[in-house]
Chain A
Amino acid sequence: MQTGFRGAGSIGFALHFLDSPSNPPLSLEIKANGRITRISLQIRRMRSVRCREAQMVPIGQQIELVDAIWATASDARWHTLEEVAKRLRSSYGRVALAVNVLEKYGFAEVSGTSERRFRINPGTISPMETVYSLRSLLHGPEPT
C-alpha cells in the first residue's frame, strides 16, 4: 500500500471488504511507511463507498461503478460480466455499459461472443485517477 495515492489501492481495498461475507467495518486503519491512515466508510446501496481521507479522494466523492469494476478486475485475469456483476451486487447491463467505456479508452480488453469477458490491461491507471490527472491539466488540482 502506498501513501499519497488517490484511489487505486484504496478502492480495491475497500471493495474487498465490501465483498467479504461478513459485515464490512465502518472504519479502517492502514499503516504505511510508519504512518497510520484512518478511513471511515459509509456504505450506500452496497456498491458505493465514501472515503473520508483527504489524500485519497475529495470528501463526499462517490466511487463510481466503473472504478469499482476496474479495481475488482485489475488482477490481469479474464472475468465474465456476470461474475463481476454478481461480485459487485450490480446488474449485467450496468457492468456491460461500464466495460464498454473501459474498452473504448484502453483500460480493458474484451473477448468472447456468447459469453462476454474482459480483463484490465496491465499498466493502466484507474478511471478516477485518469479523471483527476486530466482535470489537473485542464483546471488545476482537485479541492481537498
Chain B
Amino acid sequence: MLTVAHDGALKTHIMYKANLSHRQLEKYLEFLTNQGMIMKITDEYYGGTKYRVTEKGIEFLKDYARLSAHLNGMDQ
C-alpha cells in the first residue's frame, strides 16, 4: 500500500479511498496543497495529475500524534 505514497494517487483513487464526494475532495486537496502537506505531480506514463504526501504532511501526522499523546498524558 505504501507504493501509493511513492507513486502518488489519482483524484478518483483518493475519492474512493477517503470516501469523499467530489466537492469535498476539491476542498480537501486545495487546503492540503496550499499548506504544502501534499503536492501535485504529473504522471508521464498515465498523463494525469497525481497527489503525493510531502514531508510536511508526514510531519503534521507526527505532530498531531505527539500532541494527542502529550495532551492525554496531561490528563493523568
Known: A134-B37, A135-B61. 9 other contacts (CB 8 A): A4-B19, A4-B21, A66-B68, A93-B74, A97-B71, A131-B61, A132-B18, A137-B53, A138-B5
Interface residues of A (CB under 8 A from B): 4-6, 45, 55, 64-66, 91, 93-94, 97-98, 101, 104-106, 123-125, 127, 129-141
Residues of A within 8 A of B9 (CB): 137
A104–B60 Cα distance when bound, in Å, is: 9
**B residues in contact with A125, CB < 8 Å:** 27-28, 31-32
Cβ A134 vs Cβ B70 within 8 A: no
For A45, list chain B residues within 8 Å (CB): 75
Complex alpha-carbon distance, A6 and B1, angstroms? 22
Give min CB distance, A8 to chain B, whole Å.
10
Tell me whether chain B's interface is mostly helix, strand or loop, or mixed.
Answer: helix
The A-B contact count (CB < 8 A) is 96
Inter-chain CA distance A108–B54, complex, in Å, is 20
Cα-based distance from A63 to B52 in the complex (angstroms):
26
List the A residue with the shortest CB-CB distance to B27: A125
Shortest CB distance A53–B (Å):
13
Q: Is the pair B37, A136 in contact by a Cβ cutoff of 8 Å?
A: no
B29 closest partner in A (C-beta): A133
Instruction: Decide: A141 and B5 in contact? CB cutoff 8 A.
Output: no
Residue of A nearest to B18 (CB): A136
Q: Are B27 and A123 in contact (CB under 8 A)?
A: yes
Interchain residue pairs with CB less than 8 A apart (24): A4-B19, A4-B21, A6-B19, A45-B75, A66-B67, A101-B67, A105-B60, A106-B34, A123-B30, A123-B31, A125-B28, A125-B32, A129-B28, A131-B64, A134-B57, A137-B4, A137-B5, A137-B9, A137-B14, A137-B17, A137-B38, A137-B52, A138-B1, A140-B1
Chain A residues, CB < 8 A from B1: 138-140
Partner of B4, one of A127, A129, A140: A140
Closest 3 CB pairs of A and B: A136-B18, A106-B35, A136-B17
A60–B17 Cα distance when bound, in Å, is: 20
